[in-house]
Structure 1
């Protein structure tokens, strides 16, 4: 009897296996935060590394001017189409596993297209990489909401800043890297697969540590298992539509600016080199602002003030470009760069306008997919108006005018409400 009692006492005195859990949890949290940043860095080089080398790619592959022009619309189309599949995939295997697969698609697509022998294969492999970008675009806000529920602002800020860094880095470094590697566009595009491969390895490790299966693993702290998930069609949510239109108008301005800003400056007498630097200024301004803005926005119940301030910056910037692009050039670049911070603001609102990760997934997919579809005609229309008029007054006036409805829909999306309150709900199963 005493032996059994002593044995029981000894067993109770043994160290419990759960003791190292806090350290492991901290490690997983740090790895996931680094993974979010590294994934975000990889979401734009697929596109921005191609622009500086497009002439070389066209010449080598025999790509027509029409197909080359189509490439400007392919990213938005792929983001919209492939992003729709992200929520269903996340429910089946978990958001972390899907993002890891997205990093794999980016790695494969970017590397393989650098060996493409024809235009069709090049386009298909670019679409593979963009599919990885699309699902990651949609699900990274979901990962933030689920595993960082009380740090949505700072984590969206980290994500947005890293995305801006990746955009600027690929645009600025692709040509010098290509020159260092012998001048081949294949090496210049393929080198970015290494960055994607690093993200893939890290996300694979995170997925293994989290054992992200069947809905994405453990719920975040404070996320109840009986939380009601939105079950009605999300098209019935006014907030979702407002956010989608806001995102679409923002993307219209962003893609038109990135595509045409150097030409606007050059037509005003600014040198080719200086115009490229000014485009880099637009991107660089958004790096620190993208980090700070989401945290500030998340502290407020609504984000309407930020929507209006960014819209006014954009109107002032485009007006200055229209009438005095060659004068105070840096000022207009900074103002336009600030207006483009509407994107991280929209990402923040995606995380705030839904209570549950499931709601964030549906809202992210809907708003980004619809928004990217809305943005497709914008840059094409700006170019068409410029060709028809021979000046930038009307195209820049169009971009400035679009900021008015952007502010209206952004203010609607920025109201303190949740899509769960606008849709029928059913209790989630345990």
Structure 2
């Protein structure tokens, strides 16, 4: 199967790049790779969302201090930033398939060994090992979609993001039942390593289909991406949506409880908010890639956010299901941010570079959101200042979203900058 750029991502009459001409995969191998992408996506969040439901048991069982618990909850964004930024370099040196096998090995090894860790510091260190694999997968999977399925970016982004949402939901929902059934939080946390083993097997088979190394002159780095306006727009779009999402997942239930909702109902609303990510992942990518200009989708997500937050602010307990549904629709901006990496680039190298820069810096912005939200709540003694901060993030997301959604391409911006400098 000859792999060439999509019509949307290639100017009329533009010949395939040297790297794309070299890429070929037997048709039978594409199904294997599609399944492998879906299974890999299941693993990208299990190290994170499996801990929260049994955090009390983990901290008590390890004798972990409050500082250690805080470090554990902050560790994901730090690992995503550091290891995500290194992924394009590692991919060029090792190959994208081999790198993903190593990433899945890190997830599997980290999940198994941290479940046996006797000391808090070792649990944190081994959590970092598992999270490093997830960070690499975050960046490399969009590039693999672009590389192997340039004519099916929307469909395969749906597969990837849905796998991500399903893995996140399973780890969040199944950990407590597993802990209760086994009487051991270590077994509950370690069991998710089975996902990693299942995902690694098809990628080991797919190693034979690793594309030949491309011309190093075609490689793009994070620094080149950040030298363009479109690169920074992608960073800020990913960062603002990530910050809003982290705030909602971390504080939504507590806000409802403070307004008078009982703990069980607040938990149900949070679970519903999280579950809305699955239909958004199923529906949105294929629709987003069908059009050249994605600005209407930006407006849709922002409108849903603003109406949902206004209802939550004014009447949180009347219409809670409606406000939660609207906020969940707004959280579809996460799917939009992931899809943009492929839509706004012409090559897999460009996709990987934009994904790395946006996710590494974007997750740092996202990680700061819940902290500042909680600080404003503590200082003000209420939720209005915190909610005003969220509205500000939504408006910033709107501005940068309208910019990044315009029909332009990263490689063109880099080439124009180089020509101007030369």
Compute the TM-score of the two structures, normalised by the length of structure 1.
Answer: 0.88
Q: 1:228 to 1:201 in 2, by over 3 A?
A: closer
Matched, 1:260 2:251: yes
Looking at structure 1, the residues matched to 138 and 269 of structure 2 have their Cα atoms a distance apart, in angstroms, of 27
In the TM superposition, what is the alpha-carbon distance from 1:320 to its structure 2 partner?
1.6
1:308 to 299, 305, 311: 299
Provide, for residues 316-366 of structure 1, a one-character-per-residue CA deviation record: whole Å limited to 9, x for no partner: 222222222211111111111111111111111100111111111111111
Please identify runs of 4+ aligned residues in structure 1 that moved more than 6 A: none
Looking at structure 2, the residues matched to 204 and 264 of structure 1 have their Cα atoms a distance apart, in angstroms, of 46
Q: Which residue of 2 aligns with 1:81?
A: 82
Q: Which residue of 2 aligns with 1:11?
A: none
Q: 1:214 to 1:88 in 2, by over 3 A?
A: farther
Q: Which residue of 2 aligns with 1:188?
A: 188
- Other structure's SS at 1:373 match: helix
Q: Which residue of 1 aligns with 2:327?
A: 336
In the TM superposition, what is the alpha-carbon distance from 1:214 to its structure 2 partner?
5.3
Q: Which residue of 2 aligns with 1:6?
A: none
Matched, 1:97 2:98: yes
Q: 1:189 to 1:353 in 2, by over 3 A?
A: same
Q: Which residue of 2 aligns with 1:202?
A: 202
Query: Is 1:317–1:333's contact at 8 Å kept on the other side of the alignment?
Result: yes
Pairing 1:288-299 to 2, within 5 Å after superposition: 288-299=279-290
Looking at structure 1, the residues matched to 265 and 39 of structure 2 have their Cα atoms a distance apart, in angstroms, of 30
Mean Cα deviation higher: 416-425 or 298-307: 416-425
Query: Is 1:229–1:420's contact at 8 Å kept on the other side of the alignment?
Result: no
In the TM superposition, what is the alpha-carbon distance from 1:71 to its structure 2 partner?
2.1
Q: Which residue of 1 aligns with 2:308?
A: 317
2:382 to 380, 391, 409: 391
Matched, 1:360 2:351: yes
In the TM superposition, what is the alpha-carbon distance from 1:70 to its structure 2 partner?
2.3
Pairing 1:406-425 to 2, within 5 Å after superposition: 406-424=397-415
In the TM superposition, what is the alpha-carbon distance from 1:215 to its structure 2 partner?
2.8
Query: Is 1:251–1:371's contact at 8 Å kept on the other side of the alignment?
Result: yes
In the TM superposition, what is the alpha-carbon distance from 1:228 to its structure 2 partner?
5.5
Looking at structure 2, the residues matched to 122 and 343 of structure 1 have their Cα atoms a distance apart, in angstroms, of 29
Query: Is 1:91–1:214's contact at 8 Å kept on the other side of the alignment?
Result: no
CA RMSD of aligned residues (A): 1.9
Mean Cα deviation higher: 345-354 or 196-205: 196-205
Matched, 1:145 2:136: no
Query: Is 2:218–2:349's contact at 8 Å kept on the other side of the alignment?
Result: no
Query: Is 1:152–1:351's contact at 8 Å kept on the other side of the alignment?
Result: yes
- Other structure's SS at 1:97 match: helix
Matched, 1:55 2:56: yes
Q: Which residue of 1 aligns with 2:68?
A: 67
Any stretches of 5+ residues in structure 2 without a counterpart?
Answer: 1-24
Q: Which residue of 1 aligns with 2:265?
A: 274
Q: Which residue of 1 aligns with 2:362?
A: 371
Looking at structure 1, the residues matched to 71 and 160 of structure 2 have their Cα atoms a distance apart, in angstroms, of 29
Mean Cα deviation higher: 111-120 or 85-94: 85-94
Looking at structure 2, the residues matched to 383 and 307 of structure 1 have their Cα atoms a distance apart, in angstroms, of 27
In the TM superposition, what is the alpha-carbon distance from 1:69 to its structure 2 partner?
1.7
Looking at structure 2, the residues matched to 396 and 295 of structure 1 have their Cα atoms a distance apart, in angstroms, of 32
Q: Which residue of 1 aligns with 2:28?
A: 27
Matched, 1:45 2:28: no
- Other structure's SS at 2:382 match: coil
Query: Is 2:280–2:335's contact at 8 Å kept on the other side of the alignment?
Result: no
- Other structure's SS at 1:233 match: helix
Flag the structure with larger Rg. 1
Provide, for residues 345-401 of structure 1, a one-character-per-residue CA deviation record: whole Å limited to 9, x for no partner: 111110011111111111111111111122221100111111222222221221122
Looking at structure 1, the residues matched to 415 and 179 of structure 2 have their Cα atoms a distance apart, in angstroms, of 54
Provide, for residues 13-46 of structure 1, a one-character-per-residue CA deviation record: whole Å limited to 9, x for no partner: xxxxxxxxxxx93331111111111111111111
Looking at structure 2, the residues matched to 312 and 227 of structure 1 have their Cα atoms a distance apart, in angstroms, of 42
Query: Is 1:285–1:334's contact at 8 Å kept on the other side of the alignment?
Result: yes
Pairing 1:241-252 to 2, within 5 Å after superposition: 241-252=232-243
- Other structure's SS at 1:355 match: coil
Looking at structure 2, the residues matched to 229 and 377 of structure 1 have their Cα atoms a distance apart, in angstroms, of 31
Q: Which residue of 2 aligns with 1:159?
A: 160
- Other structure's SS at 2:283 match: helix
Looking at structure 2, the residues matched to 369 and 334 of structure 1 have their Cα atoms a distance apart, in angstroms, of 29
